[in-house]
Structure 1
Amino acid sequence: MERDYSAAAAFESPSIIKTEAKERHGKMTDELALFDVEITPITYTASRDPELEEIAFWFSTHRNLADRFAQVFRRSIDEVLDGQRTGRYDLYLAEGVGRVEKTEKTYLGTKVEIVARAEFDLGYGHPMDYLINGVNVDAKFTMGSNWAIPKEALGHICMLMTANDNTGTFHVGLLRTTADMLNAGMNGDGKRGVSVEGKRNIRWLVQNGELPKNFLLELKREEPGSLAKIWHTSSTQKISGAGGQARVNELFRLLPGRLIDRTTVVTVAMQHDGPKRVRDARKHLRPEGFIILGHLKPAPQIAEDLGLPVPSKGSWVSARLALVPEQSGRRTTLIDGARYSLWQEGDTSIAAPLIDT
């Protein structure tokens, strides 16, 4: 049966929709989680919804689509957290120091809309958010398991987006939000969630995408003691750069061999020039045998020699070194004619070599 995409059809009686849903699924559950239903690929034909398929094709012509959407969500979340000023890294913390207010979480949807528009050079729609290939498309983002669709978006194509910083995943899809694709019930603002049937009909652009990791949030789960030590160290050490420098020093001291990105550094430093704290940390940690490698030569080769992750621009990795003989049987690197390996228990403590990076 051909689906009616007219505005009149969009305002179908909710009671009819609920009846149809019960007939299709036996029992309707409005709060069904986003991916509790079996999702099968949908093949759209021109006769089914030509506008939606045109938009899907338009996005498919973009190279590195998943990576670009991943950066949209990462930047949006990081900008709302504003770690450089606040020291926050956990979007889901609702109470206590470092919490994210409800109004900020609400604004995250607007931020995603703005950053996505800039990333893909999307036009301004009317009355919807975007104009894509001549078609009005509304942007809808959720941190949860469903999207809130307002009356004015009924019958229009929505770009449905969700990202979860805890699981490190995101999803992006298209759906024409006709009434039969939405739940019967409304929230206090008169908005409806996407129904089970609607979720089955989402035209996925990116499914189970990998969100760039939130280093500090991951550390909170895996090594809470290390994270606490980093934050508390600034109250026990008095060095130049005040607390920010002490925390950055401890970050690289406690976590050798781990790639650390710029967002992590500026959040820990809580200062305008976080990367400068990395340069100063090299000086402070050198007497303890630590080097901090960035993306400039010869650092990438040294990292590769030692079996460390190789930093790209905007990331660093630290390592504590020891002098070793040539026939040590360990992975080594040559710096200014001397042979170094990663420090092991029993090695003699040395000052780290100077590396011109």
Structure 2
Amino acid sequence: MPREWQIQPGLTQHVPDDLAPFVEWFYKQPEARERFRWALRDSLDELLDGQRTGRWAYQHLTKTEKTYLGTAVEVNLTKEFAIDNGADLDWSIAGLDIDCKFSKDLGGWEIPMEMYLCADHGERSGRADHAAVLTWMDDDTSRWAAGIVRITDERLRWKRERGANGDRVRAYNRDNKRKLSDGAKSEVYWLWDGLQTDLPTNLLRHLDLETRKRILTARSPRRRSSSGQQRVNQLFREVQDRLIGRHTVLTVGQQDDAPKRARDARIKLRPEGIVVLGHQGSHPHVARALGLPEPIKGEWISTSLVPVSSDDERPKFSLDGQFWARSCGEELLHPVPAPDLPDGRESDWVNRFGFGITS
């Protein structure tokens, strides 16, 4: 993050009158912040296309793909919020034109001539000083931000011309675009109080190097090359007690049908004492009883189980009279086959459970 553009979480800002219609519009949208951060996540994941390519980091994108990321962000936000087209710019919000800009670097947004008034631009000048939604994310640190600013000629970068006079001239790039000046940072109204630190996690990106290597190179003893199902099995072995999403399973497996990969891993890992919980049947109830996050559709969570007595103080559940809790310490060295947890209709299994498993 450039020092001049460092922003903090928890900012308290006055909403400028000219930006109020846009700010109010976003704040009135149901769960706007949640939808916004997921639109950013989905935009990057679409370009990574992990199911086909196995890629899991922004750095794996080609130069062309990195350039297209801004377009993907605009398209996904447009769809997510059903934003109308503007008369001259990308969007119309609250009946007013506004553009959407993305940059991987805070302060790096490139502004075209048609966004602001400038007599020197002649016919290429904008019809007004338009507003822009500024978007940014950093997948390496799970940070993101969204702000709104009014673009003006003076808020964009200038430079000193070479030569004796050193005249002040506009700092265009090769496409006749300019970046916001460092001084314009104070003119940006940051939505949701500034810096956000919860871009949906890229699980593979944030694993340690050795763990990720074991997952991505997992293979059957009888095969020389890595196997998609073996990689998914290893994923659930290595990453326990954390929610794992569909996109991660597809990227690791590089195969269709993430639910099938998870179901097959469930069968393969049960003899090792590991259960893979999904969103159906008894699974969310078991997760809750064990104190784990509850998976929703498209999510799974694995954990190692051990049979325990009824007076064991750990969070636990009982199935057919046997209590089970999460393994710890030396118990992990001597796994016992995990129970086959039913995932069908509740009426078929609810009477088999006890201790916290309720309808």
**What amino acid is aligned across from residue 290 of structure 1 in structure 2?**
I
Quick one: distance in 1 between partners of 2:187 and 2:70?
Answer: 22
Q: TM-score, length-normalised on structure 2? A: 0.81
Q: How does 1:237-252 map to 2 (within 5 A)?
A: 238=223, 243-252=227-236
Quick one: distance in 1 between partners of 2:335 and 2:6?
Answer: 53
Quick one: distance in 1 between partners of 2:85 and 2:25?
Answer: 16
Residue 193 (structure 1) aligns with: 179
Which one of 134, 149, 173 corresponds to residue 147 of structure 2? 173
Q: Does 1:111 align with 2:72?
A: yes
Residue 67 (structure 1) aligns with: 34
Residue 277 (structure 1) aligns with: 261
**What amino acid is aligned across from residue 150 of structure 2 in structure 1?**
R
Q: How does 1:135-150 map to 2 (within 5 A)?
A: 135-146=96-107, 147-150=109-112
Which one of 212, 222, 229 corresponds to residue 227 of structure 1? 212
Residue 43 (structure 1) aligns with: 15
Displacement, 1:292?
A: 0.5
Displacement, 1:328?
A: 3.0
In structure 1, runs of 5+ residues without a counterpart are 1-30, 94-98
In structure 2, do the counterparts of structure 1 residues 300 and 279 end up closer, same or farther at CA, with 3 Å as the change threshold?
A: same
**What amino acid is aligned across from residue 112 of structure 2 in structure 1?**
P
Q: How does 1:322-337 map to 2 (within 5 A)?
A: 322-337=306-321
**What amino acid is aligned across from residue 203 of structure 1 in structure 2?**
Y
Q: Does 1:152 align with 2:114?
A: yes
Q: Does 1:163 align with 2:124?
A: no
Which one of 281, 293, 309 corresponds to residue 309 of structure 1? 293
Q: How does 1:10-49 map to 2 (within 5 A)?
A: 33-35=4-6, 41-45=13-17, 49=18
Displacement, 1:236?
A: 4.7
Which one of 272, 276, 280 corresponds to residue 288 of structure 1? 272
In structure 2, runs of 5+ residues without a counterpart are 117-128, 159-170, 344-359
Quick one: distance in 1 between partners of 2:296 and 2:260?
Answer: 17
Provide the secondary structure at the position in 2 that maps to 1:109: helix
- Superposed CA deviations along residues 230-289 of structure 1, whole A, max 9, x for unmatched, are 1111375649xx711000000111222121111111110111212210001111111111
Displacement, 1:332?
A: 2.0
Which one of 88, 104, 107 corresponds to residue 55 of structure 2? 88
Provide the secondary structure at the position in 2 that maps to 1:328: coil
- Superposed CA deviations along residues 266-319 of structure 1, whole A, max 9, x for unmatched, are 110111212210001111111111111112231122112222222222211111
In structure 2, do the counterparts of structure 1 residues 168 and 37 end up closer, same or farther at CA, with 3 Å as the change threshold?
A: closer
- Superposed CA deviations along residues 68-100 of structure 1, whole A, max 9, x for unmatched, are 110110110110111111111110x2xxxxx21
CA contact (8 A) 2:289 2:317 kept: yes
Quick one: distance in 2 between partners of 1:84 and 1:307?
Answer: 31
- Superposed CA deviations along residues 188-228 of structure 1, whole A, max 9, x for unmatched, are 22211111232111122232222111111111xxx211100
State the Cα RMSD in Å: 2.2
Residue 340 (structure 2) aligns with: 354
CA contact (8 A) 2:4 2:182 kept: no
Quick one: distance in 2 between partners of 1:82 and 1:181?
Answer: 37
CA contact (8 A) 1:234 1:246 kept: yes
CA contact (8 A) 1:171 1:208 kept: yes
Q: Does 1:343 align with 2:327?
A: yes
Quick one: distance in 2 between partners of 1:203 and 1:226?
Answer: 41
Quick one: distance in 2 between partners of 1:90 and 1:139?
Answer: 24
**What amino acid is aligned across from residue 226 of structure 1 in structure 2?**
T
**What amino acid is aligned across from residue 159 of structure 1 in structure 2?**
V
CA contact (8 A) 2:8 2:195 kept: no
CA contact (8 A) 1:81 1:100 kept: yes
Of all paired residues, the percent bearing the same amino acid is 38
What is the number of residues matched between the two proteins?
312
